[in-house]
Structure 1
């Protein structure tokens, strides 16, 4: 069946703020191919395929709405989409955001044998967001924002690890990073670190798991911390090779300070300040590193 032609595309930006749980330490801050379909015939008429994926996207969103799924930003945990958030004798109400609704649509795509992938991006506000990319047989694609329940146009000015179809490994790393953050909120530090390490193995070009692993080791006092110093130092160096942002530089500075290299820590922190001069916490940490009796970041949040 055909569908009504699309209006001019909106940017993939969800509604309000964003749904992605991954943001990094300036606030709070994905096995080896694209999200696999079971096979997509190359002979499929591309116009019909485009119409079909748009129809599937719309129907999935409509069904979720009918079943009581409502957009909530942010949705704190994936469990919010699994368990009703209201009373026993009320119609069920579930919370979803771009993470959970995109994963539901990807599951639909996989089960009907179509090729779709998760795409991550950063909004103008600095917050994270993601959407679903349907990969068509002609090399073209259709981007669908599950928050706005509409076709969208992807931004082009993104870091290299964003704005592209994520592999299955990268998608699993994304989910593992979310689980790590859940462990961290429960003060299960070693479980959080274990999941961040797994996410790093699955997606070695994505900075968030590197950042969060290093940040925990650099700032928390927990059993076994000292044994992780060398590993965290290496991750800190990799982190700023992936993306030399102010937040990543700050994290790398803190792990250098924990290792006792306050000269390196101060140099990295000064660079972070140049990139984000309004972040007063960076100035505070620079004072730690350059004091007569320098100190590391243990205890900071």
Structure 2
């Protein structure tokens, strides 16, 4: 039987392997699409089971191209960091909505999406991606501030025009990428004698060709740079759009929100920034390779 199976595999060759891979990819896309459409589908009683919030794991895995494979023990550790930060900001009972967590530590540079259905539950990870946060050392470069930041229309988001700056860099990424504006924040100056002053805190995509390959190291002026595919995921499913959705429900029309979006019933509003104080880089969050870092264009860290 083994010889026969080997002969069959040899006869079908690379084409069969390619077809199999293509079929598998198609099946994954179909599953992700099914999960996405099933997330908010009403139950027989008209409600929506909050456990469906975890269906977005499969969608994240399929749609977000820059992913981190975070071990279960690390997922649990970051859930604890998230809860501690929320508790310190009188949000210890927060539940029923997605929360975005960022570790600004130089040896991590990662973003995580978490969810829990009830305060008694443990936060569970939906997915994780590499990011770039503030790199100190030059004028007007802030260390990304710590804390819990509310994403609210009081600081209305906007979309990238995709234009090149003087250094031929699309600082906000390709056209139509969403800039999540968190308003003014107190940031630690990364130049001169240090100290604290106001900075405009945003989370956004970056130049897809020249800067996205550098995600995973500190490289911004203080904002959080994220992959374009993650930007689209957060935007399309309204992961941070609870207050935007409330405006729409009240009858207000927002040009910013796309007509084909699929906002979930568990849209959130908080971005939490922590520092894990790690002294070395864990294997699950690799730094960009030397090839990517060797191609850093002039003025790349001034693109925010």
| TM-score > 0.5, shorter chain as reference | no
Query: TM-score with structure 1 length normalisation?
Result: 0.23
Query: TM-score with structure 2 length normalisation?
Result: 0.23
**Structure with the largest fraction of helix:** 1
**Structure with the largest fraction of strand:** 2
Which gives a bigger RCO, structure 1 or 2 (Cα 8 Å, sep 6+)?
A: 2
